[in-house]
């Protein structure tokens, strides 16, 4: 293909298709020659502008999408962080509850032991509730909410157990005090014999046969038989005099004292601590006595009372 200029007003385009085929001439008016490149150029510029515009739009769209993705990703990270922190709190709370439960179990055993409650057949721990059916995947927000609710209920359970623990501790200390008082209160026979030869109250004196007041119980017994402390306490006094013979006076609690007279032997000393049922002396017939027996007296706030009130029925 080549350009041939014949006249200044137009151009002839010679087209040779094959070597032996005839040559074709196409005459092109000159103005067309000028307009065509301009049209082509305009088309190129136009499509170029359109291309630039489309590219900008795409770029903007991508930026928006990238930002949205970043935001979603950050939000996911925050959710995961929140969940992790919630889970850590729940685990911590569960551990505290487990410890507290263990403590309560020990306390329960202690209370049972103190109150002589026979331990029940070991109760099986409640079976884990069976779960079935399809599970629903929770959204991130709902998951955080659920974890937070669980945590709150665990905190509440822990608070309730603290209350229960405090109450049990109070019951335990009340029971311990009760047990202490029981130990310090006369409640057992001071000798193995249960035979009372002379009761508490007015009687005729065994020596003078005149009416007199007998301030204790005379309990039958052989010389050398054990005399037992009827309650725990402190030895207030031991001694001998012509009336009481060898005697022991014990101090207990709430103004209570017990006195043991006519002993053949004293096995403790003033100031000693004694326990309930402890052997403190031996039956005899010392002092103003007609035969071997134990004279047993109980005093309340300095006044003798009927010892039978402090003996088992």
Binding site for Zn ion (CB under 5 A): 218, 295
Report in angstroms how near the CB of residue 295 gets to Zn ion at its nearest. 3
Report in angstroms how near the CB of residue 287 gets to Zn ion at its nearest. 10
Report in angstroms how near the CB of residue 214 gets to Zn ion at its nearest. 6
Select the residue whose beta carbon is closest to Zn ion and give its number: 295
Q: Which is nearer to Zn ion, 10 or 203 (CB)?
A: 203
Q: Which is nearer to Zn ion, 218 or 225 (CB)?
A: 218
Token pair of 11, please? 């151009």
Q: Which is nearer to Zn ion, 90 or 196 (CB)?
A: 196
Report in angstroms how near the CB of residue 161 gets to Zn ion at its nearest. 57
Q: Which is nearer to Zn ion, 216 or 233 (CB)?
A: 216
How many whole angstroms separate alpha carbon 134 and alpha carbon 44? 62
Report in angstroms how near the CB of residue 221 gets to Zn ion at its nearest. 12
Report in angstroms how near the CB of residue 176 gets to Zn ion at its nearest. 36
Output the 3-class SS for the chain: CEEEEEECCEEEEEECCCCCCCCEEEEEEHHHHHHHHHHHHHHHHHHHHHHHHHHHHHHHHHHHHHHHHHHHHHHHHHHHHHHHHHHHHHHHHHHHHHHHHHHHHHHHHHHHHHCCCCCCCCCCCCCCCCCCCCCCCCCHHHHHHHHHHHHHHHHHHHHHHHHHHHHHHHHHHHHHHHHHHHHHCCCCCCCCCCCEEECCEEEECCCCCCEEEECCEEEECCCCCEEECCCCEEEEEEEEECCCEEEEEEECCCCEEEEEEEEEEECCCCCCEECCCCEEEEEECCCCCCCCEEEEEEEECCEEECHHHHCCC
Q: Which is nearer to Zn ion, 252 or 295 (CB)?
A: 295
Report in angstroms how near the CB of residue 218 gets to Zn ion at its nearest. 4
- Pairing label, strands 273-274, 303-305: unpaired
How many whole angstroms separate alpha carbon 249 and alpha carbon 270? 9
Q: Is 310 in contact with 187 (CB distance < 8 Å)? A: yes
Q: Which is nearer to Zn ion, 10 or 288 (CB)?
A: 288
Report in angstroms how near the CB of residue 271 gets to Zn ion at its nearest. 26
Q: Which is nearer to Zn ion, 151 or 295 (CB)?
A: 295
Q: Which is nearer to Zn ion, 257 or 295 (CB)?
A: 295
């Amino acid at each position: 293909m080549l350009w041939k200029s014949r006249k200044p007003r137009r151009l002839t385009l010679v087209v040779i298709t094959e070597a032996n085929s005839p040559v074709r001439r196409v005459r092109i008016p000159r103005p067309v020659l000028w307009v065509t490149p301009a049209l082509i150029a305009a088309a190129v510029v136009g499509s170029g502008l359109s291309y630039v515009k489309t590219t900008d739009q795409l770029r903007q769209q991508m930026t928006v999408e990238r930002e949205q993705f970043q935001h979603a990703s950050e939000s996911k990270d925050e959710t995961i962080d929140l969940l992790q922190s919630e889970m850590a709190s729940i685990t911590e709370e569960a551990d505290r509850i487990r410890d507290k439960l263990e403590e309560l179990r020990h306390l329960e055993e202690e209370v049972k032991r103190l109150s002589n409650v026979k331990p029940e057949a070991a109760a099986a721990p409640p079976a884990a509730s069976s779960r079935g059916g399809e599970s629903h995947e929770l959204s991130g927000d709902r998951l955080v909410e659920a974890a937070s609710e669980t945590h709150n209920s665990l905190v509440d359970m822990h608070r309730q157990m603290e209350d229960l623990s405090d109450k049990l501790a109070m019951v335990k200390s009340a029971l311990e005090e009760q047990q202490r008082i029981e130990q310090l209160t006369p409640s057992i026979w001071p000798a193995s014999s249960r035979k009372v030869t002379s009761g508490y109250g007015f009687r005729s004196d065994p020596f003078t046969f005149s009416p007199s007041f007998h301030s204790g119980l005379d309990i039958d017994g052989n010389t050398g038989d054990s005399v037992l402390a009827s309650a725990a306490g402190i030895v207030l006094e031991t001694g001998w005099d012509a009336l009481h013979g060898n005697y022991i006076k014990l101090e207990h609690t709430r103004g209570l004292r017990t006195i043991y007279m006519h002993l053949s032997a004293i096995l403790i000393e003033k100031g000693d601590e004694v326990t309930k049922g402890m052997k403190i002396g031996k039956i005899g017939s010392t002092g103003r006595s007609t035969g071997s027996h134990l004279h047993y007296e109980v005093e309340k706030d300095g006044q003798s009372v009927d010892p039978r009130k402090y003996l088992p029925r």
